[in-house]
Structure 1
Amino acid sequence: MKFLLLPVAALLTLSAANAQTWNVDKSHSRVGFTVTHLLLSEVDGNFKTFDAKITSAKEDLSDAVIELTADVNSINTDSERRDGHLKSPDFFDAAKFPTLTFKSTSFKKVEGKKYKLTGDLTMHGVTKPVTLDAFVTGPVKMKGMGGKEQEKVGLKLNGTIKRTDFGVGTPGGTTVSEEVELKAAGEFAKQAAQ
């Protein structure tokens, strides 16, 4: 039994050692959402402060683990009054739950550059699994500022959640839809091996 464990441990260590990290370029990325207001119009919002990374041992990112954090206090819907209400205990309760997080548990290719991304979303102190549609572009190598070559990849995500599943806002009503469309798009740069 001991002899079997050693090769398995060595393979796991080798796989972890070969993993590459791709960090988000925040100036070319966005984490947002859309809700319906009064059953009439759509309101878009985003989180101004966020971070994200992709970790993958495979060049085609087919084994990617995607992680995201967003500062709930940075919510922006182009209305200070509405943003304040969203941060209040009526919705996100940002003072008590200041961070929203997502960590993937599965990244499966559908076809071409389309994937299904499943992971755990934690919001308002509640963690639930969610599945999102993902679209990957790249990776591509290009010269950045200063002429330094860098490898980059693009990732778009979208999907729908029910806000009350996470205890955000009250159920029912027509002011704000229970369904929230999540939308994120990011440009990620491969980090040099350490």
Structure 2
Amino acid sequence: MTTDAESIQNLYTSGQYEIDADRSSISFQGRSLWGMMPVRGRFDDFAGTGRLRGGGEVTGQLVIDVPSLRTGMAKRDRHLTSQDFFHADRYPIITFTLAEVRFLPSDMVVVEGSLQVKDVVKQVSLSATLHAPDSESVHIGCRKLFDRTEFDISANQLGMVSNEVVIDAQLRWTRSD
């Protein structure tokens, strides 16, 4: 699939898009017990809106509900959303605000934007796959390794928790106008 600026206008329908949460997922994986045990989880509640304009210009925002974090262990979930890590009572959402999408000559794109976790905002660049399953939706998938301490998620009793966390987002955006 070619995705130069001209073909973008033909492949993807301009308009307003929303995340189809039933066909999307945001998951994460870190390590605990001094790196010996993987810890996997997901966020159950998230939403997003975006707009695609002629010429391939894209804007949008993704909002993740921190209290919806699930790892399969209620006690661990409470700890991760506590003041030791995400402090969800004070910072209940994570926000990604899209600044730019650069289309590459394949099914790959580079997504640029700002990620806010707690009161820390960082500019991030994400390599992602992009495809249109039909004329009314777009699927974007990406995996990114983050250092959680850069976002003030720094609790680490006895050095048991790895600083590196992989985020995997598989997002289906459906035209809403």
Instruction: Normalising by structure 1, report the TM-score.
Output: 0.78
Cα displacement (A) at 1:107: 1.2
Contiguous gaps of at least 5 residues in structure 1: 1-17, 142-150
Distance 1:53 1:139 in 2: 18
1:14-44 deviations in whole A, cap 9, x for unaligned? xxxx961111111111112111222123221
Q: Is 2:27 aligned against 1:42?
A: no
Q: Separation in 2 of the partners of 1:54 and 1:85?
A: 33
Q: TM-score, normalised by structure 2?
A: 0.85
Runs ≥4 residues deviating over 6 A: none
1:53 aligns with 2:30: no
Amino acid corresponding to residue 154 of structure 1 in structure 2: H
Gaps of 5+ in 2: 1-12
Larger Rg belongs to: 1
* Higher RCO structure (Cα 8 Å, ≥6 apart): 2
Aligned partner of residue 83 in structure 1, secondary structure? helix
Are the structure 2 counterparts of residues 171 and 83 from structure 1 closer, same or farther at C-alpha, using a change threshold of 3 Å?
closer
| Equivalent residue, structure 2, for 1:170 | 155
CA RMSD of aligned residues (A): 2.0
Aligned partner of 1:25 in structure 2 is 20
Q: Secondary structure at the match of 2:76?
A: helix
Specify whether residues 174 and 135 from structure 1 end up closer, same or farther in structure 2 by C-alpha distance, changes over 3 A only: same
Partner SS state of residue 121, structure 2: strand
Q: CA deviation at 1:124?
A: 1.4
Contact residue 131 and residue 159 of structure 1 kept, 8 A: no
Aligned partners of 1:23 and 1:191 also within 8 Å: yes
What is the deviation of 1:158? Answer: 1.7
Match of 1:164, SS? helix
